Structure 1
Amino acid sequence: MGGTFSQLSSGKEDENKAILSPNPASYSSTHSSKPFCSCGPYEGVGTCPTCQGSGKIPQALEKQLVALIPYGDQRLKPRHTKLFVFLAVLICLVTSSSVIFFLFPRSITVQPAGINSSTVAFDEADIHLNMTNILNISNSNYYPITVTQLTIEVLHLSLVVGQVSDSLLLHIGPLASEQVLYAVACRIWDENTYKICTWLKIKVHHVLLHIQGTLTCSYPSHTEQLVFQNYEYVDCRGNTSVPHLLIPHPP
């Protein structure tokens, strides 16, 4: 009876002993030279269910096993996370705002600046008027534009007396201005106007012309047509040429 109790006590002590070594050791997976996991003492079970007591993980189970990380591990609490997120959001907002500000299309101003020169000739019933006009173009954008087409119509008493259409290739830089000279040949066949221009008894020899134009500008992403108009008084007394000084248009 005493011997039996002694054997039972010895069996309990053996069960309480750790099956594996108390010091965890790093092991490698089967057929692999890289460390895969660390198998430590596994109490309460005879054999470690992961490595089956061999200290190595089979290669076939490498993609099926999941590593458990303690909740207090520093890898789960990266430093300055809020700061990095705030900086990323701030950089995105600043970048998008800058792109919108610089690429947002702004207006292009077209302003007729008057006549540069004119010549007048007469035949039996018509007035032949050749004039050169000035056109100021201002670019308010932060990127360059290109002027590709200029179409002009000259009207006298609601009748078209002159037309011109020129293909241009004028580059205007950001926040810059340029001047364009265009020549129009007009033929006026109104009898009253002919008398005003030829009779010496009349002291004022001016013809009122209505100028309508369309300017085609090319942006980096699209094309736009700008419409402008102007009224000009032209001296039609004899064969004259009166040049005017070109005044640079302020940017």
Structure 2
Amino acid sequence: MGETISKLRSMAHQKHESEPILARDGSEEDRTTPYVSINGNENGYLPYVETENHGSTYCHTCQGTGRIPKDQRNELVALIPYSDQRLQPSRTKLYVSLAVVICLLLSSLAIFFLFPRSIVVTHAGLNSSVVTLATSSQSINLSTTNVLNISNGNFHGIGVTQLDVEVLLVATVIGKSSTSNVTSVGPLGTSQIYYTVNSTIKDNTTYNICTWSKIKVHNVLLHIQGTLTCSSLGHSEQLSFDGYQYVDCRSNTTIPHSLHQLR
């Protein structure tokens, strides 16, 4: 009988020691003590670590075991402290700075090479001419071949899509010419365009100057003006040019041309 009473007192004493000294308020969930799980991969679970923090909440994901099942590791979200080193990889600022510098450098180079620059078009003069005198109508037919210089200041090629030219005598238009798909000019390159304009002069004074033998100089001053349409990188641009040139309507030894007189 004495031994039985001694055992009951010992069990009561152990139960009393296991009880907490200070009572905790709240539900059973709030009384759960954070812990650190150091167990290995037992029964298909991955270790889950909780730190001692009085302001932390109970982990429902680990279901009170302190471990996450392997078959759910791709579906669960882990909470990582802000001070964790994995969120602060080394040389992050260096890599970001290098990426920004490389992007700025590439953008600057693209703007430098693709930025549109000027295209210069100049009238280079007369290459050759064919003069035909019609005595019945007292008119002069001119077929002049002129030269146009194009200078491309861009780092990309351009295409000359349209050439429109007018030939004027004083203020009268005596000839027109229009040509499409003319040529192309390479990057930082130059090119020459030869174009022919057929003109008709119906003026008695000019006809007399060209046919009167007592006059030693038989020159006609022509005014050339036109527009050149260039395309590059998806946009087109119109460039204007003009120039003056003398045409010998009787004979010429410096510029090759032929003379035919109709009777």
TM-score by length of 1: 0.78
Deviations 1:26-56 (A, max 9, x none): 3579xxx5x54336899x9xxx865455565
The Cα shift of 1:214 comes to: 1.2
Query: Could you list the per-position Cα deviations for residues 212-244 of structure 1 after superposition, in whole angstroms to 9, with x for gaps in the alignment?
Result: 111111112111111111111111115889339
Name the structure 2 match of 1:168: 181
Match of residue 39 from structure 2: 25
1:180 match: secondary structure: strand
Matched, 1:11 2:15: yes
- For the 8 Å contact 1:119–1:240, the answer to whether it is kept is no
- State the SS of the aligned residue for 1:83: helix
Q: Does the residue aligned with 2:98 lie in a helix, a strand or coil?
A: helix
Q: Partners in 2 of 1:236 and 1:60 — Cα distance?
A: 99
* Matched-pair contact (CA < 8 Å) for 1:25–1:39: no
Q: Are the structure 2 counterparts of residues 13 and 140 from structure 1 closer, same or farther at C-alpha, using a change threshold of 3 Å?
A: same
- Counterparts of 2:51 and 2:149 in 1: how far apart (Å)? 89
User: Which residue of structure 2 lines up, in the alignment, with residue 69 of structure 1?
Assistant: 80
> 1:89, 1:204 → 2: CA distance?
71
1:79-158 residue pairs with structure 2 within 5 A? 79-124=90-135, 125-158=138-171
Of stretches 59-68 and 93-102 in structure 1, the one that deviates more from structure 2 is 59-68
Name the CA shift for 1:69/1:26 in 2 (closer, same or farther; >3 Å): farther
Counterpart of 1:248 in structure 2 is none
Unaligned runs of 5+ in 1: 245-251
Q: Deviations over 1:145-164 (max 9, x none)?
A: 11111111100021111111
Give the equivalent residue in structure 2 for 1:217: 230
What is aligned with 1:192? 205
- Give the aligned length: 235
| Cα shift at 1:89 | 1.1
Structure 1 residues 210 and 24: alpha-carbon distance in aligned structure 2, compared to 1, 3 A threshold: same
Deviation >2 Å, runs of 4+: 1-16, 26-29, 35-42, 48-73, 238-244
Asked if structure 2 preserves the Cα contact closer than 8 Å seen for 1:118 and 1:241, the reply is no
Q: Which amino acid aligns with 1:97?
A: S
Structure 2: how far apart are the matches of 1:58 and 1:201? 116
8 A Cα contact 2:163 2:182, kept in partner: no
Is the Cα contact below 8 Å between 1:130 and 1:185 reproduced in 2?
Answer: yes
- TM-score normalized with structure 2 length: 0.74
SS class of match (1:26): coil
Structure having the higher Rg: 2
Matches of 1:92 and 1:65 in 2, distance apart?
Answer: 37
Q: Deviation string for 1:173-227 (max 9, x for gaps)?
A: 1000111111111111111111111112112211010011111111121111111
How far, CA to CA, are the matches of 1:143 and 1:137 in structure 2? 14
